[in-house]
Amino acid sequence: MKEHTNLPRLSIASLGGTVSMQASASGSGSGVMPKLDCDEQLAKVPQLREMAHLEIATLGLLPSASLGFAALLEVLAWARGEVDRGAHAVILTQGTDSLEETAYFLDLLWPFDAPLVMTGAMRAASQPGNDGPANLLAAAQVALAPNSRGRGVLVQMNDQVHGAARVRKTASVAMAAFESPGCGPLGDVVEGVVVYGQPPGPREVLPLPHRTEHRVALLEACLDADTALLKATATLGYEGLVIAGFGAGHVSGSWSEVLGHLAPALPVIVATRTGSGPTATASYGFAGAEIDLQSKGVHMAGRLCPRKCRILLWLLIGTGRQQQLHGWLPR
Ligand code: ASP
């Protein structure tokens, strides 16, 4: 293929996920597995080589539930290095299951105006109508668009562009599996053109964590839950705790009592388990509601979902900034 010397440099890495998955040659019954490396994924989108000079890396072949913070820090180091070496933008392909968490993790540590665009697929590469190639093409269009700059990490799925802090996987198998509840996507890809509703806003980024061995627990409040696991978080050595609370950020009276003992010793965040909307700060007066919880030193998550709260708290502790937690929780 002809070399286009003055094309922008676009770095693309794959981590695994359904976008890389295929059925085994032996046929049905054993399920799809991560198999395609980055080169093989890109082979299905030949147009990409007309759009940019590609730098390609296969950084993993994992289902995304098996990614972890240590692996993400390595991916981040690779992506930052690519920008330092002149990449106009970076694309990562991975599984969709943990995409809402990995995107937010990387966004909190992404210091460049250059976009980092993440994408995946809901249908495996060996399935008819697989969406991986279309998502990769749209991700490249997003990555190369001048109006994508300064927006941090973006998630492109199904021709929509989502911000890392709000995007969530809200459907298990549907093609339109990603939403940004309460605010909608930042933009759309229409006939290859990326259209945003708003210009980029200010961003705040954390330095790289100097500690990585600490752990933050995430527990969901639910009807008639006992307090055994909740109490154990302190003795098991967790350094932070996130509760996916009822409604506007509520727990039972018995959980509130335990949180009152835990909160002086470790940062505790109560978020909403509902999937959209903010936590309250000043509406409800019962034991276990926001006024009671805040009086005990518990932080209300605002609009940040429980999983993203855990990512934020882990990074704040890792950078010694847990005292700044309140300022990072958007109302
Ligand atoms: N179902 C997943 C996906 O969409 C598997 C994973 O997250 O790796 O890729």
pLDDT in tens, 59-87: 999 999 999 999 999 999 999 999 999 99
Atom of ligand 1 nearest to the CA of 62: 8
Token pair listed for 41:
């994924």
Q: How many CB atoms lie within 10 A of CB 25?
A: 5
Q: 199 CA distance to ligand 1 centroid (A)? A: 31
> How far is residue 272's CA from residue 302's CA, in Å, rounded to a whole number?
8
Pocket residue to mutate for ligand 1, from 96, 127, 135, most atoms within 8 A of Cβ: 96
**Quick one: pLDDT at residue 27?**
61
Q: Indicate if 216-328 has the same CATH topology as 4-196.
A: yes
β 32-34/53-62 pair status = unpaired
We find that the CATH architecture of domain 216-328 is: 3-Layer(aba) Sandwich (3.40)
Atom of ligand 1 nearest to the CA of 16: 8
| CA-based radius of gyration for the chain | 21
Q: Which CATH number fits domain 4-196: 3.60.10.10, 3.40.50.1170, 3.90.1150.10, 1.10.760.10?
A: 3.40.50.1170
**Quick one: pLDDT at residue 331?**
79
> What does the domain layout of the chain look like in residue ranges?
4-196, 216-328
Distances, alpha carbon 309 to alpha carbons 214, 236, 272, in Å = 15, 20, 11
By alpha-carbon position, which residue is closest to atom 9 of ligand 1?
95
Q: 214 CA distance to ligand 1 centroid (A)? A: 26
Stretch 105-116: mean pLDDT: 98
Atom of ligand 1 nearest to the CA of 95: 9
Cite the DSSP H helix spans in 67-218: 69-84, 99-108, 132-144
Maximum separation of any 2 CA atoms in the chain, in Å: 69
CA angle at 94 for the pair 80 and 124, rounded to the nearest 5°: 155
Residue 180 near residue 186, CB atoms below 8 Å:
yes
Beta strands in the chain (DSSP E): 9-16, 21-23, 32-34, 53-62, 89-93, 116-119, 153-157, 160-163, 168-169, 178-179, 187-190, 193-196, 216-220, 240-245, 268-272, 299-300
Q: 155 CA distance to ligand 1 centroid (A)? A: 14
Residue 245 near residue 277, CB atoms below 8 Å:
no
pTM metric for this prediction: 0.96
Which strand ranges, in their side-by-side order, compose the sheet holding 268-272? 216-220, 240-245, 268-272, 299-300
Nearest to 106 by CA among 20, 205, 185: 205
Stretch 203-230: mean pLDDT: 98
Q: 211 CA distance to ligand 1 centroid (A)? A: 29
* % of residues, the chain, pLDDT over 90: 95
Where does ligand 1 bind, in terms of residues with CB under 6 Å? 16-18, 63-64, 95-97, 120
Burial class (CB in 10 A: 0-12, 13-18, 19+), 90: buried
* % of residues, the chain, pLDDT over 70: 98
Q: Taking 70 as the threshold, does the pLDDT of residue 256 lie above it?
A: yes
Burial class (CB in 10 A: 0-12, 13-18, 19+), 214: middle
Burial class (CB in 10 A: 0-12, 13-18, 19+), 16: buried
Band of the pLDDT at 1, cuts 50, 70, 90?
Answer: very low
Band of the pLDDT at 219, cuts 50, 70, 90?
Answer: very high
By alpha-carbon position, which residue is closest to atom 3 of ligand 1?
95
Stretch 302-320: mean pLDDT: 98
> How far is residue 218's CA from residue 310's CA, in Å, rounded to a whole number?
7
**3-state secondary structure string across 294-324:** HHCCCEECCCCCHHHHHHHHHHHHHCCCHHH
Q: 17 CA distance to ligand 1 centroid (A)? A: 4
Lowest-confidence pick of 18-32, 63-77, 117-131, 297-311 = 18-32
Nearest to 110 by CA among 89, 131, 140, 137: 89
